[in-house]
Structure formats: C-alpha cells, structure tokens
Amino acid sequence: MKKIAILGTGSVAQIVAEKLVELGYEVTLGTRNVSETLAKPENKMAARPAFKVWMDNNPGIKLSTLSEAAAWGELLINATQGVGSVHALKAAGNNNIKGKVLLDIANPLDFSKGMPPSLTVCNTDSLGETIQREFPDVKVVKGLNTMTAFLMVNPSLVPGNHNVFVCGNDASAKTDVIELLKKMGWNDKSIIDMGDISSSRATEMLLPIWVRLWGKLQTPMFNFNIVVANK
C-alpha cells in the first residue's frame, strides 16, 4: 500500500505526513474545510508555521476533503482530535472507509477544564472501541498514541529500547500496521501486540500519566519501556 490518507491536519498529522513522504509513500491530508485549513495561522505553541507555508514547504503532501482523502487512501490514519474522531470519520463517508485499515493514533482527551486533560471515555470503553463499533466494516488498529509525534516517526530520538503498543481485532490489519512501524524505525523487540481492540482502554489510559510526566520532565521526549524479569 503506497497511498496513505491522514485524517486531520494538526501538528501530529503534519509530522507523520512528513515521515511517510520521506519513506516514499504518497500522502494526502483530509480536512473538513480546505479553505479554512489553508488559512490557519502559525501555531507558536507547537512550533509549527502557518498551514499554507507548511504545505508550500512540503509539495509532496496533498490536501483534500475528508471524503476525498478517505476514498483515495489505501491505508487510513486517524490523526484528528479524539473528541471529534467519530464525526470526522462519518464525514469521510462509510463507503470510502469500508474494508480499509485505519490506524487510530488519536486519544479521547478533554481539555474543557484546562490542564491536565481528562479522558472522555475510559475504564470500560475507549476511543478505539468506539470507532470500531461505529464503523464495523473498518479494520481499526490502535497504535502510536502513547508518545509524542516526533517519537512516533523516529524512535531513535530516545536512546535504548522502548515500546510501542498495537491492538485490533483483525490480525492482517495489525500486520500491515506493524510493517509500517518497522519502516518508521521500530523493531520487533519494541513492538508489543496487546491483542484485540479492547486493549485501547489500557493504552489510552496511559495518557494521564504521560501528560503528568511531560510536566514533571519538562520535555515530551520520553517513552515507556516494558522490562520483563528473567524466567
């Protein structure tokens, strides 16, 4: 699969898109409103330029509506804000996403009461499961949601072994995602298959501690390393 559609246009989507183009993929970002997205100003907090400037600097990346991007992509990545992911996927169109692998890297973060955010869904449910229920014909794989975007696409930024988690109901879809992760620099030892999509509850619930660690360490450049005792 050479055509990857990323649903979302924020800093995470941009960072992932840049890496995918570097790896030789064709990439299209999907947005609700193309003209409004092109008019987005500089994001100083995320150290990102105005969106049109970024697009001009990355001519290999295309921009289209959610439905156009979803129809075009052979593999889809959900990089929308978690609270709006289901709405964005509905806008993408069920017929356009049906039967496709969807790598869900979003988190159900609620910033309505400021920092640190809470989760809109947790414990007995998750965003990954919600998406799978709403779109049963989509092969949802949760992954890359437990770290900063820069680390998603370049694990060598943190020295030593550390882990990325994947989960989903479709084994072949997970295989496709794992192959993509390996191209990004993750190795077999670092990738942990957590099982079915219900494991999204666990990986998404890492975000509260991740945010607290970010505040404590004053950097997002860290990750989780699972160490197993010798048997």
CATH of the domain at 83: 3.40.50.720
Instruction: Flag whether pLDDT at 1 surpasses 70.
Output: no
Query: Could you tell me if residue 130 is inside a domain?
Result: yes
**pLDDT for residue 111:** 84
The 10 Å CB-count burial string (b at 16+, else e) for 96-117 is bbeebbbbbbbbbbeeeeeeeb
Residue whose token pair is 């017929």:
95
Give burial (CB, 10 Å; 0-12/13-18/19+) of 59: exposed
Structure tokens at 35: 């003209």
- Angle between the N-to-C axes of helices 85-92 and 127-134, in degrees from 0 to 180, rounded to the nearest 10: 30
**How many domains, the chain?**
1
Query: Could you tell me if residue 14 is inside a domain?
Result: yes
CA dihedral 20, 24, 26, 28 (to 10 degrees): 20
Instruction: Measure the CA–CA gap between 36 and 14, rounded to whole angstroms.
Output: 16
Q: Which domain holds residue 63?
A: 3-217
Structure tokens at 23: 């790896």
Instruction: Flag whether pLDDT at 231 surpasses 70.
Output: no
pTM listed for this prediction: 0.95
Question: What pLDDT digit, counting tens, does each position of 185-216 carry?
Answer: 999 999 999 999 999 999 999 999 999 999 99
Query: Could you tell me if residue 223 is inside a domain?
Result: no
Q: Are 120 and 83 in contact (CB under 8 A)?
A: yes
Query: Could you tell me if residue 229 is inside a domain?
Result: no
Query: Could you tell me if residue 164 is inside a domain?
Result: yes
Q: Choose between 5 and 45: higher pLDDT.
A: 5
Q: Quick one: DSSP state of residue 157?
A: G
Q: Which of 96, 101, 98, 168 is nearest to 129 (CA)?
A: 168
**pLDDT for residue 187:** 95
Query: Could you tell me if residue 27 is inside a domain?
Result: yes
Query: Could you tell me if residue 20 is inside a domain?
Result: yes
Instruction: Calculate the CA 203 to chain-centre distance.
Output: 13
| Mean pLDDT in residue range 163-168 | 98
Residue 169, SS3 per DSSP:
coil
Query: Could you tell me if residue 227 is inside a domain?
Result: no
